[in-house]
Amino acid sequence: MSSMSRKEFLRNSALASLGLAPTITAAGTPRHWLQRLKGKQGRAKNIIFMVSDGMSSGTLALADLVKQRQFGQQTSWLSLYDSTGRKYHRGLMDMASLDSPVTDSAAAASSWGGGKRINNGAINMSPDGRKYKPIAEIFRDAGKKTGLVTTTRITHATPAGFASNVPDRNMEDTIAMQYLERGYDLLMGGGARHFEKESREDGKDLFAGFRAKGYSIVSEKSQLQSAGKDKLLGIFSDSHLPYTIDRKNDSDLNASVPTIAEMTKVALNRLDGLSNGFLLQVEGGRVDHGAHGNDAAALIYDQIEFDEAVKVALDYTAGRDDTLLIITTDHGNANPAVNGAGDRYSDSGAMLDNIQQFRHTNEWILSELDQNSTNSEILDRVEEATDIGITKKQAQMIRKSMNGTLTTVYEAKDSPKAVLGSVLANYLSINWLGTVHTSDYVELAALGPGIEEMDAFTRNTELFDMMVTLAGVTEYAAG
């Protein structure tokens, strides 16, 4: 086996700094699994791409532990590996962006959706302004149906990465307009503020625009089943959808906002049976927000609910050989885990079980507190949400974090959300590395056509090549 020359090493290192290096094995030879896939063009009529946004490996484990301890069931994701007997691929994926080993969701989704590594913050656009045709447009042009489902705003970074081109992910009004102009078949999530004329900067009524193009427009869960068979726009919140645990403990929200599993089932029912197939992206987007907030209840129960959507997709693909299912995440975030507690760690399980009595998220707690809140108000609010009576000293720390007088060793963890998360770690034994994205190589699972050719370690952009090749739509990828 020949080794890589110093010249080749330096060349590839320079290319890597630009995000242009060829994918290589440890021995320095080019990967060839994508070449092998070319013999399988058109094998995947349908593609389902599922993303638990911001899911560190600890988040996957936490959800499985809590689901087993609270509900007596293993998560569908882990049961795929453990007990279903289905043929699957499991590996790790490098999610680096063009300008950083730590990626944001825009660059991450663009690596899958446009096939290129780009700078953090952009969506399917190079630093010099070149646009990369997103995969939803490619599938649309090939005559396939397209759908996006998320628990965030539908105009947020991850769905947009499959369907849009903007230099800045915050241009959500523009992303919404591009959805209208490009005519994708199904859009479900939050973000009404980017469709309503009253809240758009240009004053345009995009709901009216979608209606004029034949879309059914729904804003309540009960309307989903009665929506027409034409194109569908379902927007169920002004901004992001509520966290799972907050929704379940609010009767009005529970009645009006669909779960990600319900939206996934509706999407598959509507897209299924179409002669030329479909592309569907499903994102559990608020898992990421829970990690940013060091919010254990938000993170765990949204991950468990995302897993219910995974079950819907696994059920749909069972017995089929024409559908590629990819289940993954775009980056780690805050890297939560159950820490050892007690003699020989014997208290860890019991402390983790305290999460089962939570009624609301940390976000819910902090939403009614500010720098003028008293220790007593903080104590009462935390106990109402968690059934945990924190100490006066801990309440004082939270109060100091809100008025900016708390000093922490790691300065990134002096915010109220981080301090509240750390206080509750004393009762849950769940602690956090920080409050931001991490550079982890991420979990990647796949089922369906072509998986036997995949390597154990994948570069993020390779999934774009895999999808367009297996779907037989490479000729539509240019332009």
Task: Note the pLDDT tens digit of each residue in 368-379.
Answer: 999 999 999 999
The rounded distance, in Å, linking the Cα atoms of 401 and 415 is 6
Q: Give helix then strand counts, H and E, for the chain.
A: 20, 14
Strands 232-235 and 145-153: what pairing? unpaired
What pLDDT is attached to residue 273? 75
What pLDDT is attached to residue 244? 98
Task: Note the pLDDT tens digit of each residue in 170-221.
Answer: 999 999 999 999 999 999 999 999 999 999 999 999 999 999 999 999 999 9
From the number of C-beta atoms within 10 Å of its C-beta (0-12, 13-18, 19+), residue 441 rates as middle
The rounded distance, in Å, linking the Cα atoms of 280 and 325 is 10
Name the band, by pLDDT with cuts 50, 70 and 90, for residue 478. confident
**Apex CA 201: angle with CA 199 and CA 205, to 5°?**
60
What pLDDT is attached to residue 383? 98
Query: Which class would CATH give 33-336+443-476?
Result: alpha beta
Q: Assign 332 to helix, strand or coil.
A: strand
From the number of C-beta atoms within 10 Å of its C-beta (0-12, 13-18, 19+), residue 468 rates as buried
Task: Note the pLDDT tens digit of each residue in 181-192.
Answer: 999 999 999 999
What pLDDT is attached to residue 139? 98
Per mean pLDDT, which range of 5-14, 30-39, 246-255, 403-412 is the poorest? Answer: 5-14
What pLDDT is attached to residue 29? 45
Whether the predicted pLDDT of 399 surpasses 50: yes
Mean pLDDT of the region 414-427:
97
What pLDDT is attached to residue 299? 98
pTM: 0.93
Is residue 296 within 8 Å of 428, Cβ to Cβ?
yes
Strands 323-328 and 430-431: what pairing? unpaired
Residues with catalytic function: 105
Please report, as a single letter, which amino acid is at residue 99.
D
The rounded distance, in Å, linking the Cα atoms of 197 and 208 is 9
Task: Note the pLDDT tens digit of each residue in 42-84.
Answer: 999 999 999 999 999 999 999 999 999 999 999 999 999 998 8
- Which residues in 285-390 belong to E strands, given as ranges? 323-328, 332-333, 337-338
What pLDDT is attached to residue 479? 62
From the number of C-beta atoms within 10 Å of its C-beta (0-12, 13-18, 19+), residue 357 rates as exposed
What are the sequence ranges of the domains in the chain?
A: 1-30, 33-336+443-476, 340-431
**Cα dihedral across residues 456, 476, 282, 280: positive or negative:** negative
What pLDDT is attached to residue 31? 66
